[in-house]
């Protein structure tokens, strides 16, 4: 199959709707064709973006009411005329416009926070798979801190909080918010706590706490570093731990 034959099938391929044979054909073609692979990646990322629940946004009730009223007014004005297809097209375009505008009005910060939290939770979950949690296993802060030397371009604060019930158990490198970050691993009554650390971009002292998918995520800046703390530990104890970190 050549590119022209593959292109119309890519949408169905990405959606997993192709039958076995065509799907094998597309697979085979993608292995050798960078152009089609690029198109496939673009479709996949579009699909992922659309699935992200941040994008699902219900128009405010007042806006819905206004649209209904203006549609009703149009119908009343010309009662004897049939509703032509172009009217529907216009309405569809109008609602698409409204959807795009509402998306743009959405607070960007909020969606950034949610994306960051989701990414941190994914990293946390991945770290719990066998063999992924730690690259340096040590309860000694003086062993864990130097381990990061030369691996990242900043020096994370590494403290052990065993005395407060949160022992340090190790560290590793991870990837979050489009950068390599230090991941410090702590323990609390068999709950694993991941602390992702990277240089703070802004100097905000306020901590944000989010509860998502059964996990608690705390983001806060302290001493020029950003801390993103993730665990399935309850929010109260995790906050206590977050305060220790920021001291
Ligand atoms: Zn191709």
Residues 204, 221: Cα–Cα separation, whole Å? 6
Q: Which residues surround ligand 1, an ion (CB under 5 A)?
A: 3, 33, 36
The pLDDT, as a whole number, for residue 34 is: 92
The pLDDT, as a whole number, for residue 210 is: 94
Tell me the CA–centroid distance for residue 47 and ligand 1, in Å. 20
Neighbours of 40 (CB within 10 A): 19
- Above 80 in pLDDT, residue 195? yes
Take residue 11 and report the two structure tokens written for it. Answer: 């949408």
The pLDDT, as a whole number, for residue 119 is: 94
Q: What is Dmax (Cα atoms) for the chain? A: 84
Tell me the CA–centroid distance for residue 19 and ligand 1, in Å. 19
Give 95's pLDDT tier (boundaries 50, 70, 90).
confident
Three-state DSSP class for 92? helix
Q: Around 63, how many Cα atoms within 13 Å sit in the side-chain half-sphere?
A: 11
Most confident range (mean pLDDT) of 23-27, 69-73, 204-208 is 23-27
The pLDDT, as a whole number, for residue 54 is: 63
- With residues binned 3-state (H G I as helix, E B as strand, rest as coil), the percentages for the chain, rounded to 5, are 50, 20, 30
Q: Which of 10-24, 39-53, 128-142 has the lowest mean pLDDT?
A: 39-53
pTM for this structure? 0.57
């Amino acid at each position: 199959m050549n590119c022209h034959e593959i292109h119309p099938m890519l949408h169905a391929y990405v959606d997993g709707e192709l039958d076995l044979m065509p799907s094998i054909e597309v697979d085979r073609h993608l292995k050798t064709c960078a152009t089609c692979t690029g198109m496939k990646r673009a479709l996949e990322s579009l699909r992922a973006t659309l699935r992200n629940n941040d994008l699902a946004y219900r128009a405010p009730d007042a806006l819905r009411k206004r649209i209904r009223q203006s549609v009703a007014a149009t119908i009343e004005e010309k009662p004897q005329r049939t509703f032509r297809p172009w009217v529907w097209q216009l309405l569809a375009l109008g609602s698409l416009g409204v959807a795009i505008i509402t998306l743009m009005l959405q607070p960007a910060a909020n969606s950034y926070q949610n994306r960051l939290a989701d990414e941190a939770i994914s990293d946390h979950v991945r770290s719990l798979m066998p063999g992924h949690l730690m690259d340096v296993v040590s309860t000694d802060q003086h062993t864990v801190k130097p381990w990061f030397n030369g691996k990242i371009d900043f020096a994370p604060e590494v403290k052990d909080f065993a005395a407060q019930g949160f022992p340090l158990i190790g560290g590793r490198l991870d990837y979050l918010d489009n950068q390599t970050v230090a991941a410090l691993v702590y323990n609390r009554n068999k709950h694993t706590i991941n602390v992702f650390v990277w240089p703070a971009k802004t100097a905000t002292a306020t901590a944000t706490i989010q509860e998502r998918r059964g996990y608690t995520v705390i983001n806060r800046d302290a001493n020029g570093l950003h801390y993103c703390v993730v665990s399935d530990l309850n929010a109260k104890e995790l906050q206590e731990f977050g305060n220790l970190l920021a001291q």
